[in-house]
Amino acid sequence: MPVRPAQSPTTKSKHSIAILSPSFDHTTTMRPRAILRARELTSRQIHSEAPRHARNPPHAKPLPPRPPRSRVAKWGGRAVVLGTVGGGAYLADREYNASAVTRSLRTAYIGLISTLDYKLNFKPEKSDEIEALHTRVANRLRWVVDTNQGMYLKLGQAIGLQASMLPKPYRVAFAHVFDQAPSVPYEEVVGVFKHDLGIDPMDIFETFTHEAVASASVAQVHKATLKAVVGNPDRVVAVKVQKPAIAKQMDLDLFSYRTLMYLAQKAFDLPLYFVAKYVSEQMRYETSFNREALNARKCAEYLSQTPELRDDIMVPKVYGKEEGYPESDRILVMEWVDGCRLTDKKQIEAWGLKPRDVMDLAISLNAAMTFSWGFVHCDPHPGNILVRPHPTKRGKPQLIVLDHGLYITLRQQFREEYATLWRSLFVLDVPKVEEIGKRWGFGLDPNMFASAILLRPAEIKKGEKQERKPMDKYHQQLEVKKQLKVMLDNEKFIPRELILLGRCQRMMQANNQTLGSPSSRVNITAEWAARGWANSLTGSRTLRAVGLKTWLHDRWEMVLFRVTVWAIDALFRWTSFRNKYLSPRNKLGWEEELQKQMETMAREELGIEIDDSAFAG
């Protein structure tokens, strides 16, 4: 019998494992570590499946569905999310964007509410409530201007200057929009210096006031002393620093303004957008201090070439690269000059100066810019023209012209046409007035066109006056709208220069009125217009160009023009003498009497009533 070989313990162990594991492949062997791994995986699978079967055991009832959230809970959750997102956006806009988006949304909201207010309530059956409607809307717009500040203050001033064309509540709401605003801290001023010039203010100034001496919508002014450089001793200067927020706010502010005017044009069927587009372009230029420095130097150069004005009007010196100092588009350094506001009658008289001499110079400067230079300062409000006793002429004033940010350059053709228009108005050349009016896109009656240019009543063409029936407020407003549409018949031909020139004329009228109308504004302007027209005679209308007959006719009209100006000046002097000595109870000045006549013309020509504040300064 053969003997079976003995099995080793190891061989027996392998067979035992194979028997205990039915799924084990007897043809292979498995290491202990692999076996443990297989058991571990099997154990995980069992434990992971156990809860799944436990949730829904074969004989257990399913869990009831989760109850739906209430509507309040849903909207509450949404409100929390929206509030969180909105609050975060508001804080980010305030901290990093100078609240530019918030300001625009505020403007859009007021614009929408005001438009709906007019659409719903400007109706014939609500004629008695139209005054209250205008008051609501005017107060809303004024609130936006006061709340937003910045560029909105300048827009508010523009509305105030043109308020004579608007209902009374707008004149009341925008009568006193002052270009004043809180100053920014000194740390922000230092930030502008470091960002633009890479230096601290004390690197170029011996002294520099931390508190601003004046603060307006766009910039603030600090008083400082320049460090001496070669050829320039220490100088007391005014340092104009643009507020940091302006650069962030400007684009959205001007976009909001243009958008509102565009929507107003569509909603009320009035051509308004062309004005907004032009004004926003000019306001953008006004924020460039490099441009302002260039304008100041150019104005000083023109003054030096005008003998009638150069000794009596000055422009403070600009300190820049030419003088050895750094320049920036947000920092302007100019000579410091002391003086009082143009309309500070009390101080002017305390110095022994005459208000008439002051206003004669101011009006002459504006007229010279318009008709001789073709380069016009378009922001001549009282704070931008200072008065001081003349350094060399005892008892005479000297004017200091500030803030040269807003200028327009008149095209040669327009300047000649504008001078010709003034000449034609005085010599009653009706065909020429009508020709220029049509060329400029105005569909006005010649008398109304003349009055709009002169800012005084003018009847250059006789006609039968139509009796107008009394109208309620609703139909008065419709008549004004009709006249405006006629006046702006073809806006694409209207010279854009007239927008700001009209603003200048209105400012000069208001300045004169504030001082008691001591100067004959129309006559002084006409005298400079005569010089401008005479210059055109030596240019395009020479003897060879137009022939002897036309050449002689032009000279005769020039004589007639000057005689007419002299006659109106005599009338002005007589009116002033009469009011002062013969009719002491009559306290009306020349501008006030013109205002009364404008009210009469509005009533007779348009059938509407204009109150005393329509043309008030």
Question: What is the predicted pLDDT for the residue at 242?
Answer: 95
pLDDT at residue 15 in the model:
43
Please give the pLDDT value at position 300: 97
Which pLDDT belongs to residue 592?
58
Residue 554 in domain: yes
**pLDDT for res 617:** 39
User: Does the residue 486 lie in any domain?
Assistant: yes
Task: Among 115, 144, 173, give the residue marking a domain's end.
Answer: 173
Residue 365, in any domain of the structure: no
Residue 509 within a domain: yes
Q: Report, as an integer, the average pLDDT of 555-561.
A: 73
| Domain end position, chosen among 139, 156, 173 | 173
The pLDDT value recorded for residue 20 is: 39
Picking from 356, 362, 345, the residue whose alpha carbon sits closest to that of residue 573 is 356
pLDDT tops 70 at residue 8 = no
The model's pLDDT over 452-470, given as tens digits with 9 standing for 90+, comes to: 676 666 666 665 555 556 6
What is the C-alpha separation between 260 and 145, in angstroms, rounded?
Answer: 14
403 has a pLDDT exceeding 90: yes
Which pLDDT value is given to residue 502?
Answer: 86
Output 167 or 17, whichever has higher pLDDT: 167
Q: What is the pLDDT of residue 521?
A: 86
> Which range, of 3-12, 157-166, 189-198, averages the lowest pLDDT?
3-12
**127-157 confidence digits (pLDDT tens):** 888 889 989 999 999 999 889 888 888 888 7
Calpha distance 267→258 (Å, rounded): 14
Domain boundary among 173, 192, 223: 173
* pLDDT class of 1 with cuts at 50, 70, 90: very low
Q: What is the pLDDT of residue 288?
A: 94
The pLDDT tens digits for 323-368 are: 888 899 999 999 999 999 999 999 999 999 999 999 999 999 999 9
Instruction: Compute the average pLDDT of residues 249-259.
Output: 88
* Domain total of the chain: 2
What would the mean pLDDT of 553-575 be, rounded to a whole number? Answer: 72
Q: Is 545 helix (H, G, I), strand (E, B) or coil?
A: helix
Dist. CA 587–CA 584, nearest whole Å: 7
The rounded distance, in Å, linking the Cα atoms of 69 and 335 is 72
The average confidence (pLDDT) of the chain is 78
Q: What is the pLDDT of residue 7?
A: 47
Is residue 485, in this structure, part of any structural domain at all? yes
Look at residue 546 in the predicted model and tell me its pLDDT: 66
- The closest of 506, 457, 495, 505 to 606, measured between CA atoms, is 457
> Across residues 438-446, what is the average pLDDT?
76
- Whether residue 282 lies inside any domain: the answer is no
Domain containing 550: what range? 409-609
pLDDT the model gives residue 4: 47
Predicted structure pTM score: 0.74
Higher pLDDT, 578 or 431: 431
17 pLDDT above the threshold of 60: no
pLDDT of residue 397: 97
- Is residue 334 included in any domain, yes or no? no
Could you tell me which residues come within 8 angstroms of residue 50 by beta carbon, excluding any fewer than 6 positions away? none
- 16: confidence class by pLDDT, cuts 50, 70, 90: very low
Q: Is the pLDDT of residue 531 over 90?
A: no
Q: What is the 3-state secondary structure (H, E, C) of 333-366?
A: EEECCCCEECCCHHHHHHCCCCHHHHHHHHHHHH
Least confident among 43-52, 84-93, 395-404: 43-52
Instruction: Residue 30: count other Cβ atoms within 10 Å of its Cβ.
Output: 15
Whether residue 427 lies inside any domain: the answer is yes
In the chain, what percentage of residues exceed pLDDT 70? 70
